[in-house]
Amino acid sequence: MKYRSTRSNETVTAEEALLKGLADDGGLYVPEFLPKPFLEAKALKDMSYEELAAFVLSHFLTDIPEDTLKELTHSAYTGTFETKDIVPVKPLSQAFSMAEMFHGRTCAFKDLALSLFPYLLVYAKKQDKDGKEILILTATSGDTGKAALEGFRDVPGVHIMVFYPSHGVSPLQKDQMQKQLGDNVKVVGIEGNFDDAQGTLKQVFGSELRKESAEKGVLFSSANSINIGRLLPQVVYYVWIWLKLLENGSIGPDEKFNVVVPTGNFGNILAAWIAKQVGAPIGELICASNENKVLADFFATGTYDINRPFHMTEAPSMDILISSNFERFLYYLTGSTDEVAAAMAKLKKEGKYEVSKEAFHKAGLEMMGGWASPEDMIHAMSGVYETYDYLMDPHTAVAYAVYDHLRREGKIPRHSHTVIISTAHPYKFPGVVAKALGLAEKDSPYDTLREIEGSTGIAIPRQLGELENRPKRFTDTVDRKDMADVIRAYVDEIARH
């Protein structure tokens, strides 16, 4: 299977797509075609997570021998998660379950793809045989950065540089990045938001600096979900969720299930959509937004418009107005690289674009959008804890609030089962969790965690607790206009060594 750009006829192999991250024309790589549905519960039900990952990915990464894929998934998912199930699916009622994606090294759903992606990238690098060092350049709204840093830490021949909004992440997320271990890592805060960081990196990928760096022996790649190697492993867990729902009796053999995804950069929900195309029996697919509801508004109007206030919220991974992966969805809606290129050019110039009536109608058939206010989010966190004794992080709470609202409006089929995608451990956001529980927030986030632990009996994850006494290594903050210079300096440092 080849991969093509969303904006032109540029076509590459899977290995090239993994290594490059972003196409030369600024587009994102998508499979030339989606495989015909290939999922059968009977054949899959006894597979472990790593076996399922190798099976699903073998239909997309057809250049990688199946035995090699099995080795890569085995390495990725052995000993890196706190639970045997990797993604436990917990039914809280007959109506809904929580799919917990926070049992990895950084307590966020990004661990699921970023445990495997480094192995895929190193494999692609070996096939390439050009001897260049790889520099992963990544913008993060909070969770991707830490998961990527952990995934690529001390991987030979690979270096990683992460940019995050200095005032737009939780104290725990900031500590996770500033205290990162590893000799091949670099972390920089920026004055600005995630869109600023991501937009500047996209410019860097299309600039002379990329060519200059390649001449110095350093190849740029990305660990954001703009890289196909981040997106495809996410398809796996939606198939896994289906099998778990069958196993625990939440759905019957011929039943569909709905999925609600708290959405920022659109990669996680796009992976669910792809899983549906290849045979996972997903019914309603619900895109949940916070106050930065550019996606919810698109599904209501057919216009994507970023000319609006940017809100910094307690769910920072959703504080995004330019959702990169939406470009891939737009490609699938329109089937036209010309239309995608025109829409992206219009977005850059005017801050908005609208799709045709046909594409808008199709979008509504594929998924629905909804959003939740900060008050809705807090209400969901406290309500679900009181009713079900289940503690959610703010992103998951946004998803639950949207689900509850749509269910009450009758937009979710009454007797169908819904899965809320639980994307992060609540303890990554101690301030807002304490507020939802009616507890006082302490001066230190770690003191607040101990307060929450005392009240709920939920243990502080080792990955977060051990941060408290670790020294900060990366405290620099730069203006977005200086990002290219900072990258150039790091490239020179890599080239010297």
Q: What angle do CA 90, 249, 280 make, to 5 degrees?
A: 80
**In this predicted structure, what is the pLDDT of residue 211?**
94
81 Cβ partners below 8 Å, 6+ apart? 103, 104, 111, 115
Distance in angstroms (rounded) separating the CA atoms of residues 441 and 460: 16
List the structure tokens of 212.
Answer: 């200059």
List the structure tokens of 139.
Answer: 């913008």
In 10 A of CB 291, how many CB atoms?
Answer: 21
Task: Say if CB 140 and CB 164 are below 8 A apart.
Answer: yes
DSSP secondary structure code for residue 231 in this structure: H
List the structure tokens of 191.
Answer: 């004055």
Task: Say if CB 241 and CB 275 are below 8 A apart.
Answer: no
Q: Which residues of 31-64 are buried (b: 16+ CB within 10 A; e: fewer)?
A: beeebeeebeeeebeebbbbebbbbbbbbbbeeb
Q: Which residue has the tokens 């899965």?
A: 419
Task: Say if CB 294 and CB 265 are below 8 A apart.
Answer: no
pLDDT along the chain (497 residues), means of 10: 97 95 94 97 97 98 96 96 96 98 96 96 86 93 92 95 95 96 97 94 93 95 92 98 98 97 96 98 98 98 97 95 97 97 97 97 97 98 98 98 97 95 97 97 97 98 96 96 97 94
Question: What is the Rg, in whole angstroms, of the alpha carbon atoms belonging to the chain?
Answer: 21
**In this predicted structure, what is the pLDDT of residue 352?**
98
412 in the Ramachandran plot: left (φ > 0), alpha (ψ -120 to 50) or beta? beta
Distance in angstroms (rounded) separating the CA atoms of residues 402 and 412: 11
Strand locations in 231-339, DSSP E? 257-262, 282-289, 303-305
Three-state DSSP class for residue 358:
helix
Closest-CA residue to 451 (of 441, 466, 465): 441
List the structure tokens of 389.
Answer: 């004794």
Q: What is the pTM of this model?
A: 0.96
